[in-house]
């Protein structure tokens, strides 16, 4: 590849619903400004998927679009979900489908103290600098669930993942007959090994010698006892300098609230990672600044942790920092460490230099989504 080809990246974009388009628009402008300062250009392909496209066309996410997306260097996603669409349809049909189709097995969710961003718990001068590494393709998120109205259930449980395919049936009968629901969770050796590897690499990069494995083996021993065992074995075998601290998720939540600055890498199965990443985002300053990435060996996708917030969509009240910082994660993933650092420093500088009024509305200022984007760009 020639040098000039090296300097172009194509990015697929699903801005999505609610505040998605407005925050993504700022994230794009900031990422472009940072990358162009390093002589790199970003080319964006927009996809219309989300609630209004679905309501208009009945189309959720066609296979043809997946194939096109695959050819991009990375993807950005704003937010999916709208009160006009039954909960679950778009979340599963777009967001989870993208994560599974592209085998984005790492959900990366850092949380950091940022200047002038209030935290709900006193930190006594310490700083939060933690990262949830959430397994993103297994656990209770396999989509293998059924409701039985008549006390019997006999359903295929077939699925494909990046590294394996699963076939079989779930066959159950309950007596006395009554309606029930069953959802199957799976953690595989393959899945736990690869996410543990990533968590340990992250700890190594951060210069840390401990990861916290978020589990619940005392009550759910097969699923989470297995997760712990494979995580420990993988770390012992491949990262002898890194120690796994096992923590039951309930106790971990308690300690996270009492002392959020005490944690570094939190390795989580999918469901606990979903919950714990919201908790740590809340502790570090809120959804307005919580960035995320869905990373795999193929197409990776970067999205803020927050949802579509339809109540404030179009009002300018949305805080684009979470999307902007997700853009920084994307730049780093593309190997553009310099540009990523530029974005992160620009966000910090903007917040640090704020004198109140020019803070995001959620932090007591009156800056709109657009104005925040502009202020960050000025600091690039
Ligand atoms: C998240 C969200 C999703 C999840 C929903 C919208 C399906 O909560 O990205 O954390 O559960 O993973
Ligand atoms: Mg969530």
Give me the tens of pLDDT residue by residue for the chain, a chain 380 residues long: 344 446 899 999 999 999 999 999 999 999 999 999 989 999 999 999 999 999 999 999 999 999 999 999 999 999 999 999 999 999 999 999 999 999 999 999 999 999 999 999 999 999 999 999 999 999 999 999 999 999 999 999 999 999 999 999 999 999 999 999 999 999 999 999 999 999 999 999 999 999 999 999 999 999 999 999 999 999 999 999 999 999 999 999 999 999 999 999 999 999 999 999 999 999 999 999 999 999 999 999 999 999 999 999 999 999 999 999 999 999 999 999 999 999 999 999 999 999 889 999 999 999 999 999 999 999 99
What distance in Å separates the CA atoms of residue 214 and residue 196, rounded to the nearest whole number? Answer: 12
Residue nearest to atom 4 of ligand 1 (CA): 274
Residues 353 and 372 in one domain: yes
Segments forming the whole domain that contains residue 212: 119-142+186-284
Positive/negative CA dihedral, 307, 308, 311, 316: positive
Atom of ligand 1 nearest to the CA of 95: 7
Which pLDDT score, from 0 to 100, does residue 6 have?
Answer: 60
| Residue 114 burial (C-beta neighbours within 10 Å; 0-12, 13-18, 19+) | buried
Cα–Cα distance measured from residue 287 to residue 319, given in angstroms and rounded to the nearest whole number: 9
Residues 177 and 193 placed together within one structural domain of the fold: no
Query: Which ligand 1 atom is the nearest neighbour of the CA of 278?
Result: 10
Q: Give the pLDDT of residue 182.
A: 97
Both 160 and 306 in one domain: the answer is: no
Burial 6-28 (b: 16+ CB within 10 A, else e): eeebebbbbbbbbbbbbbbbbbb
Taking the model in full, what pTM does it have?
A: 0.96
Which CATH number fits the domain that encloses residue 48?
A: 3.40.718.10
Question: What pLDDT does residue 62 have?
Answer: 97
262 in a structural domain:
yes
Q: Indicate which ligand has the atom closest to the C-alpha of 97.
A: 1
213 and 258 together in one domain: yes
91: Cβ below 6 Å to ligand 1?
yes
Indicate the burial class of 246 (C-beta count within 10 angstroms; 0-12, 13-18, 19 or more). Answer: middle
Same domain? 260 vs 304: no
Antiparallel, parallel or unpaired: β 139-148 and 165-166: unpaired
The residues, any chain, with a CB within 8 Å of residue 39's CB and separated by 6 or more, are: 7
Q: Are 191 and 252 members of one domain?
A: yes
**Distance of alpha carbon 11 from alpha carbon 214, whole angstroms:** 33
Helices of type H across the chain: 3-6, 20-37, 51-57, 63-70, 89-90, 97-101, 189-205, 226-238, 249-258, 270-284, 321-333, 337-353, 369-378
CATH of the domain at 261: 3.40.50
Q: What's the pLDDT at 5?
A: 46
Taking the CA of residue 107 as reference, the ligand 1 atom at the shortest distance is 9
For tokens 């120690």, the residue is 243
Strands lying side by side in the sheet with 74-79: 41-47, 8-16, 74-79, 301-302, 293-295, 106-112, 129-135, 265-268, 210-215, 243-248
The answer to whether residues 94 and 174 belong to one domain is: no
What was the pLDDT predicted at 356?
86
Distance from Cα 172 to the centre of ligand 2, integer Å: 30
194 and 250 share a domain?
Answer: yes
Nearest CA to ligand 1 atom 9: 305
Nearest one of 318, 363, 325 to 341, comparing CA atoms: 325
Burial of 199 (0-12, 13-18, 19+ CB in 10 A): buried
How are beta strands 180-186 and 165-166 bridged, if at all? unpaired
Q: Which residues are catalytic?
A: 141, 216, 250, 274, 278
Beta-ladder partners of 160? 165
Domain boundary among 253, 284, 315: 284
Please indicate, yes or no, if residue 331 is contained in any of the structural domains: yes
Q: From residue 52, how far is each of 66, 248, 314 by CA, in Å?
A: 19, 41, 15
Flag whether 219 is in a domain: yes
**Residue 360 has what DSSP assignment?**
B
Nearest to 27 by CA among 259, 274, 332, 343: 343
Measured by CA distance, the residue closest to atom 8 of ligand 1 is 274
- Reading the block at residue 250, the tokens are 């309930």
Q: How far is the CA of 183 from the centre of ligand 1 (A)?
A: 17
Confidence (pLDDT) at 2:
40
Same domain, 127 and 249: yes
Pair 8, 48 in one domain: yes
Number of domains in the chain: 3
DSSP codes, 46-111: EE--SHHHHHHH--S--HHHHHHHHTSSEEEEEE---TTS-TTHHIIIIIIHHHHHTT--EEEEEE
Choice from 20, 51, 96 to test ligand 1 binding pocket (greatest atom count within 8 A of CB): 96
In a shared domain, residues 176 and 195: no
Q: What's the pLDDT at 1?
A: 39
């Amino acid at each position: 590849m020639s040098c000039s080809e090296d300097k172009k990246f194509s990015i697929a974009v699903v801005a999505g619903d609610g505040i998605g388009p407005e925050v993504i628009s700022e994230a794009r402008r900031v990422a472009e400004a940072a990358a162009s300062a390093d002589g790199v250009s970003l080319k964006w392909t927009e996809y219309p998927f989300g609630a209004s496209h679905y309501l208009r066309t009945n189309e959720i996410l066609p296979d043809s679009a997946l194939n096109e997306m695959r050819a991009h260097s990375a993807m950005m996603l704003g937010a999916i979900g709208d009160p006009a669409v039954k909960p679950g349809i778009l979340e599963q049909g777009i967001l989870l489908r993208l994560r599974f189709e592209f085998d984005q097995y790492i959900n990366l969710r850092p949380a950091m103290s940022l200047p002038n961003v209030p935290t709900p718990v006193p930190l006594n001068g310490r700083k939060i600098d933690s990262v949830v590494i959430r397994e993103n393709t297994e656990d209770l998120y396999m989509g293998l669930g059924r409701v039985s109205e008549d006390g019997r259930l006999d359903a295929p449980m077939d699925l494909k993942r990046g590294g394996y395919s699963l076939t079989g049936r779930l066959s159950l009968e309950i007596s006395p007959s009554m309606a029930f629901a069953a959802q199957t969770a799976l953690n595989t050796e393959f899945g736990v090994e690869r996410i543990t590897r990533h968590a340990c690499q992250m700890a190594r990069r951060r210069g840390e010698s401990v990861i916290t494995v978020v589990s619940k083996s005392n009550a759910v021993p097969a699923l989470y006892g297995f997760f712990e065992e494979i995580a420990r074995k993988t770390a012992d075998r491949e990262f002898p300098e890194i120690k796994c601290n096992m923590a039951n998720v309930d106790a971990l939540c308690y300690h996270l609230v009492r002392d959020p600055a005490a944690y570094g890498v939190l390795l989580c199965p999918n469901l606990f990672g979903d919950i714990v990443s919201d908790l740590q985002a809340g502790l570090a300053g809120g959804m307005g600044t919580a960035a995320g990435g869905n990373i795999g060996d193929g197409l990776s996708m970067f999205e803020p942790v927050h949802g579509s917030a339809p109540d404030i969509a179009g009002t300018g009240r949305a805080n684009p920092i979470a999307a902007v910082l997700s853009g920084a994660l994307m730049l780093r993933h593309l190997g553009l460490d310099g540009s990523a650092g530029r974005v992160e420093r620009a966000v910090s500088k903007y917040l640090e230099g704020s004198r109140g009024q020019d803070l995001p509305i959620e932090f007591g200022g009156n800056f709109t989504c657009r104005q925040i984007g502009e202020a960050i760009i000025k600091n690039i």
